[in-house]
A = this chain, B = another copy of it.
Amino acid sequence: MSEAISTWSTLASRNAALRFIDVNLRGAGQVIFQNNPLTGLFFIAAIAWGAYTGGHLDIIIGALVALVIATATAMLLEADETSLSQGMFGFNGILVGAAVPTVLADGAGMWFILVIGAAVSTVVMLAVSKVMKTWEAPALTFPFVLTTWFLVLAAYSFGQLPIASMGPPALPQAVTTGASPEALSAWGVVEAWLKGPAQVFLINNPISGVLILIGLIVSSPWSAFFAAVGAAVALAVSLGLGASLSDVTAGLYGFSPVLTAVALGCVFYTPSLRGAAFALLGTIFTVIVQGALDAGIAPAGIPTFTAPFVFVTWLFLLPKADLQPHPHAPIKGGILDKKAKS
């Protein structure tokens, strides 16, 4: 396998068209942190399968179009070569392109904002990366989340952007009856578990989940392991806390914890027992934050996308070993400090 990839890399380095394909495949792979074109191919297959079985080919078309536009925008802006060749300017684009046709109805308006949004996702990636780099932290999928929130929220204001599947805006209402996990068959549990990874790409299909896990295995067995465990933890915690059973079985409590588990477990920290405990705390908290944002965002009538993953993972990546919080004592150079001026 690694030999095939190495042959491909050699080919790609010699041909501009192949290189462009390579960069886009890596962009797809980077959605779950893999700088690997084969992984990207599996992820694209997962989206394609979900789009095909769901009768929504516009989702895979949108995903590919947006991926290419996001990458091309980075080239036009002469973004950093190394990052570009690793697919760092594609992963937000492909998610924008999968999300917009999932949420909005097919039509000229939808394709217009998809194209604009794909290009903008690269600008936002550059902006968020600039800010987060101050603290040596990654942008994660926040460029996708922010850009797509704007795009789909705008649908409420524009008549040419009919909504297919989102909202309606509503005040949060307490779930009165919790889930009855007993109602789930063994196969139902497996299906719900596999849909966790699949929903990372907004796909509600267990086969797509399998394709995504295979895509991870060929690149990083640790990533596949943490993705699988993250989805399982999310399933247990969401059922234990009594989440809506239909949300749980659709994998809607699983996708963000999958990403948190992989990010904290083996991507941004090297795997260790202590790290695993830290990643477990983060993964559990991601489930709680998913429930919180589902309620908090309800009045706006838009999906959370991967915001729970982004917020929790940022909080768990920002702490540094040598950090000394600012004490509860006077601030140097404060606006009232006249000495600081002279």
Contact = CB atoms under 8 A, between A and B. Distances in A.
Given A149-B292, A324-B80, A330-B270, A116 B171 contact: no
A340 B326 contact: no
Interface in A311-326: 314-326
Number of copies: 3
A26 to B, nearest CB: 11
A133 B325 contact: yes
A277 to B, nearest CB: 9
Given A269-B331, A314-B127, A116 B299 contact: no
A272 interface: yes
Q: How large is the interface on A (under 10, 10 to 19, 20 to 34, 35 or more residues)?
A: 35 or more
A332 interface: yes
A6 interface: no
Given A160-B240, A175-B159, A281-B123, A320 B301 contact: no
A333 B134 CA distance: 13
Interface string A82-98: 11001010000000000
B336 A291 contact: no
A272 B214 CA distance: 47
A106 interface: no
Contact of A172 (B83, B123, B169, B296): B169
Given A35-B328, A288-B151, A336-B278, A161 B242 contact: yes
Nearest to A253: B157
Nearest to A247: B157
Nearest to A326: B138
A172 B150 contact: no
B340 A127 contact: no
A25 interface: no
A65 interface: no
A300 B295 contact: yes
